[in-house]
C-alpha cells in the first residue's frame, strides 16, 4: 500500500495533505502521485501553483528527454489539475487561482496536443459545449471547458446563444458523444429542455449523453428537462462527464 | 448631502422594489431578449413597472439598466447606444416616481473577468465602460447608482465605484452576489461577506450589501456578517428562493408572506434598505411593507 511519504515531491505531499480531505480521493491521488516520475511531478507542481512559464518549460524538457506525450499529460498536467479541481470545489481556491492554473495547463498542452494527434491517439471523449439559446453569460461554461480540457477531454466550444440546431450539427460534424449545456438566466433555462427535445426529434438522443449546469440550474430541473446528468460546479462537471463518457463508450462500442 | 442618504442616516428603514427581469418577461420580453432595448421600444412597460412598484409602496426603484454596459449591450448589437438606453432607463423611472421617492441607477456585471484576475478584460477599458454608463444614468436623473450582483470586490466592483464617483456626484450603493460552498459564503472570486464589506467601505461606497444568488436564510447570515464589518448602511435585495421548474415554467418558491416574515430577520441582522431580487414582484413589496411597517403603508 502506497503512502503519502512515497510521493517523490515535497510540495505535492504538503498540498495533498493540507487540501484533500476525502479518504477515497486521498487514496486515489496518493496512488497517482506515488507512481509518477519525479520530473513529471515538477510539472504537476507548476500547474498547482499556476506557474505557466515553468509548466511550458518543464513540459518541453520532459518531452525532449524522451518521456511519452501521454505520460507527460496524465502524470504531469492532468495530475496537477486533479488537485486544483479539489481545492476549487472545497473553497480553498477560487476563480482567479483556477484560471491561473488552467493557463499553466494550457501552456503545457500546447506541446502535447500536436504529438497526440500525429500519433492518432483519441481523446477521452469529444464534448460539445455552449450556453443555450438566448443566454450570453459564459463565465461558468468557460471555466467548465478549462477543467474539462484539463482532464483530457476534447472540447468543441460553441460559445454563447447556441440554438438546438447548432448543438445537433456540431454533434454530427464532430461525432461527439457528450453535450454540455449551460444557462445563467432562469428565463433561458427552458431552452435546455427544448434542445433535448430537438435531439429526440432528430433521432439522435440515444447517440449522445447530455449534461447541464449553470448557477440557477438544479438536479431536479435537470431531471425534469430529461438531461442525463447535472453538475453543480465546474469540478462536478468534469466528474459527471467522466461518468457519462464511460457509459457512452460502452453503449456505442465503436 | 443627498436626501437618499439623509433618510437612512435618520434611522428610517427604506423599502426598495422587486425584480426587473421577472416583470419585463411577464410583459413581453422574450427569453434572452435585450431588457434595456425595452427602454426605447416599450417605454410604457418600463415606466409602468416603476409605477407598479411605487404604487405597492416602494421608497425607491431601480432603473432598467442592469445590462446597460457597453460590454453587455454590444452582445445585442447595441454597443453604440449606451448613453441613450441608460438615460431613457433613468427618465422612465423618474417619470413614475412620486415626490420624495428615489430612483437608483442599476449597473450590473460586465460579464468580463479582468486580466489581473485571470481573464481578458483591460481595467482601463472597464473603468471607461462604467464611466459611460454612469454618465447616461446621471443624465436621466437618478438619485444614486446601485452597482449590483458583483463578484469581484477588489477589481470590477472597485472600478465601478470609482467610475461613478469620478463621473457623477451621486451616492453609490454596492452589492455583491454570494454563493454557499462547503466552507461558507463566498463570491465567485473568493471574498467573504466580512472581507468584502471592509473592501467596499474602503473603496468609498456609501451603502453596501448583497443581492441575488442565495435564498433569504443565507441572506440573513450575509447581512449579519457585513454588519460586523462596517458602519455603512446596508441593502439587501433577496431572491424569492431558489428557482425550480413546474410544468415547464420557472417557479420561485418563496411567497410574499414567507419572505416578509423572514425579512424581519434581515432587518434585525442589520439591513437599512430591503427589497426583492429575482422572482419577486409588487406583491412581495406590499407584504414587506405590511409586515415591517405594521400595515401603515
- CATH of residue A88's domain is 1.10.1240.10
Interface test with chain B among A21, A89, A186, A225, by most B beta carbons within 10 Å: A186
Question: Across the interface, do A95 and B183 touch by the CB < 8 Å criterion?
Answer: no
Q: Which three cell numbers stand for residue B256?
A: 410574499
Q: Which of A68, A96, A118 is the last residue of a domain?
A: A118
Q: For residues A53 and A146, state if they share a domain.
A: no
Interface test with chain B among A91, A150, A220, A227, by most B beta carbons within 10 Å: A91
Is residue A116 a contact partner of residue A69, using CB atoms and an 8 Å limit? yes
Interchain CB contact of B253 with A (< 8 Å): no
Q: For residues A114 and A133, state if they share a domain.
A: no
List, in sequence order, the alpha helices (H) in chain B. Answer: 3-9, 21-26, 38-41, 43-56, 70-75, 82-96, 123-139, 158-167, 193-203, 216-229, 256-269, 282-292
Q: For residues A100 and A134, state if they share a domain.
A: no
Q: How many Cβ pairs closer than 8 A exist between chain A and B?
A: 94
State how far the Cα of A166 lies from the Cα of A197, in Å rounded to an integer: 14
Q: Look at residue B1 in the predicted model and tell me its pLDDT.
A: 58
Q: Distance from A218 to chain B by nearest Cα, in Å?
A: 7
Q: For residues A142 and A110, state if they share a domain.
A: no
Q: Chain A partners of B188 at a C-beta cutoff of 8 Å?
A: 94-95, 139
Count of the separate structural domains present in chain A: 2
Of A98, A215, A221, the CB nearest to B244: A221
Average pLDDT for runs of 10 along chain A of length 254: 94 98 94 96 98 98 96 94 94 96 94 90 90 90 91 93 96 96 88 95 96 91 93 90 71 26
Q: For residues A114 and A130, state if they share a domain.
A: no
Q: For residues A142 and A166, state if they share a domain.
A: yes
Whichever domain contains A231, its CATH number is 3.40.50.280
Q: For residues A137 and A245, state if they share a domain.
A: yes
Question: Across the interface, do B118 and A160 touch by the CB < 8 Å criterion?
Answer: no
CATH code matching the domain that covers B3-292, chosen among 3.40.190.10, 3.20.20.330, 3.40.50.11540, 3.40.50.460: 3.20.20.330
Q: Which of A118, A139, A170 is the last residue of a domain?
A: A118
Is residue A110 a contact partner of residue A149, using CB atoms and an 8 Å limit? no
Interchain CB contact of B278 with A (< 8 Å): yes
Interchain CB contact of B243 with A (< 8 Å): yes
pLDDT (tens, 9 = 90+) of chain B, 297 residues, equals 589 999 999 999 999 999 998 899 899 998 788 999 999 999 999 999 999 999 999 999 999 999 999 999 999 999 999 999 999 999 999 999 999 999 999 999 999 999 999 999 999 999 999 999 999 999 999 999 999 999 999 999 999 999 999 999 999 999 999 999 999 999 999 999 999 999 999 999 999 999 999 999 999 999 999 999 999 999 999 999 988 777 767 889 999 999 999 999 999 999 999 999 999 999 999 999 999 987 544
Nearest 5 degrees, angle CA B20-CA A231-CA A15?
A: 115
Q: Chain A partners of B279 at a C-beta cutoff of 8 Å?
A: 186
Output phi, psi for B226, to 5 deg: -65, -40
Tell me the residue range of the domain where A233 lies: 126-252
For the CA atoms of A104, A109, A111, A112, the dihedral, rounded to the nearest 10 degrees, stands at: 150
Q: For residues A198 and A233, state if they share a domain.
A: yes
Question: Across the interface, do A186 and B33 touch by the CB < 8 Å criterion?
Answer: no
Q: Distance from B190 to chain A by nearest Cα, in Å?
A: 5
Q: For residues A141 and A228, state if they share a domain.
A: yes
Question: Across the interface, do A138 and B31 touch by the CB < 8 Å criterion?
Answer: no
Q: For residues A107 and A17, state if they share a domain.
A: yes
Q: What is the pTM of this model?
A: 0.92
Of A161, A187, A218, the CB nearest to B244: A218
Question: Across the interface, do B242 and A96 touch by the CB < 8 Å criterion?
Answer: no
Of A91, A160, A193, the CB nearest to B181: A91
Q: For residues A241 and A165, state if they share a domain.
A: yes
Q: Which of A118, A146, A172 is the last residue of a domain?
A: A118
Q: For residues A78 and A166, state if they share a domain.
A: no
Amino acid at each position: 500500500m502506497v503512502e503519502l511519504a512515497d510521493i517523490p515531491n515535497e510540495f505535492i505531499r504538503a498540498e495533498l495533505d493540507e487540501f484533500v480531505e476525502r479518504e477515497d480521493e486521498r487514496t486515489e491521488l496518493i496512488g497517482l502521485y506515488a507512481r509518477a516520475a519525479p520530473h513529471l511531478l515538477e510539472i504537476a507542481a507548476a500547474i498547482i501553483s499556476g506557474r505557466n512559464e515553468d509548466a511550458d518549460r518543464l513540459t518541453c524538457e520532459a518531452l525532449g528527454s524522451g518521456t511519452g506525450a501521454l505520460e507527460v499529460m496524465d502524470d504531469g498536467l492532468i495530475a496537477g489539475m486533479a488537485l486544483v479541481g479539489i481545492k476549487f470545489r472545497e473553497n480553498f481556491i477560487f476563480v482567479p487561482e483556477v484560471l491561473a492554473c488552467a493557463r499553466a495547463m494550457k501552456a503545457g498542452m500546447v506541446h502535447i496536443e500536436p504529438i497526440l494527434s500525429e500519433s492518432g491517439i483519441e481523446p477521452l471523449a469529444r464534448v460539445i459545449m455552449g450556453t443555450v439559446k438566448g443566454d450570453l453569460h459564459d463565465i461558468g461554461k468557460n471555466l467548465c471547458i478549462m477543467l474539462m480540457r484539463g482532464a483530457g477531454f476534447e472540447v468543441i466550444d460553441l460559445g454563447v446563444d447556441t440554438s438546438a440546431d447548432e448543438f445537433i450539427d456540431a454533434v454530427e460534424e464532430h461525432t461527439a458523444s457528450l453535450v454540455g449545456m449551460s444557462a445563467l438566466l432562469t428565463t433561458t433555462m427552458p431552452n435546455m429542455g427544448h434542445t433535448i427535445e430537438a435531439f429526440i426529434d432528430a433521432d439522435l438522443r440515444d447517440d449522445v449523453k447530455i449534461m447541464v449546469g449553470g448557477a440557477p440550474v438544479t438536479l431536479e430541473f435537470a431531471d425534469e428537462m430529461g438531461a442525463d446528468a447535472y453538475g453543480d460546479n465546474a469540478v462536478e462537471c468534469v466528474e459527471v462527464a467522466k461518468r457519462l463518457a464511460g457509459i457512452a463508450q460502452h453503449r456505442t462500442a465503436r | 448631502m443627498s436626501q437618499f442618504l439623509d433618510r437612512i442616516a435618520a434611522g428610517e428603514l427604506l423599502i426598495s422594489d422587486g425584480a426587473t427581469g421577472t416583470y419585463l418577461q411577464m410583459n413581453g420580453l422574450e427569453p434572452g431578449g435585450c431588457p434595456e432595448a425595452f427602454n426605447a421600444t416599450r417605454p410604457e412597460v418600463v415606466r409602468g413597472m416603476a409605477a407598479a412598484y411605487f404604487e405597492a409602496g416602494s421608497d425607491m426603484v431601480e432603473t432598467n439598466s442592469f445590462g446597460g454596459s457597453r460590454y453587455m449591450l454590444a452582445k445585442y448589437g447595441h454597443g453604440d447606444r449606451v448613453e441613450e438606453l441608460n438615460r431613457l432607463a433613468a427618465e422612465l423611472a423618474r417619470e413614475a416616481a412620486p415626490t420624495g421617492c428615489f430612483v437608483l441607477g442599476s449597473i450590473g456585471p460586465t460579464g468580463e473577468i479582468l486580466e489581473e484576475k485571470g481573464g481578458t478584460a483591460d481595467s482601463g477599458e472597464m473603468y471607461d465602460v462604467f464611466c459611460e454608463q454612469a454618465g447616461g444614468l446621471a443624465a436621466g436623473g437618478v438619485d444614486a447608482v446601485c452597482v449590483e450582483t458583483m463578484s469581484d470586490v477588489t477589481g470590477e466592483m472597485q472600478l465601478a465605484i470609482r467610475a461613478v464617483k469620478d463621473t457623477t456626484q451621486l451616492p453609490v450603493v454596492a452589492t455583491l452576489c454570494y454563493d454557499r460552498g462547503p466552507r461558507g459564503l463566498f463570491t465567485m472570486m473568493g471574498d467573504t461577506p466580512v472581507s468584502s464589506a471592509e473592501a467596499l467601505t474602503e473603496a468609498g461606497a456609501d451603502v453596501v450589501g448583497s443581492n441575488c444568488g442565495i435564498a433569504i436564510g443565507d441572506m440573513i447570515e450575509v447581512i449579519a456578517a457585513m454588519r460586523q464589518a462596517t458602519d455603512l448602511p446596508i441593502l439587501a435585495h433577496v431572491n424569492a428562493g431558489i428557482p425550480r421548474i413546474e410544468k415547464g415554467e420557472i417557479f420561485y418558491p418563496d411567497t410574499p408572506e414567507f419572505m416578509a416574515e423572514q425579512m424581519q430577520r434581515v432587518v434585525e441582522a442589520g439591513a437599512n434598505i430591503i427589497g426583492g431580487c429575482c422572482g419577486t414582484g409588487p406583491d412581495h413589496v406590499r407584504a414587506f411593507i405590511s409586515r415591517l411597517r405594521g400595515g401603515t403603508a
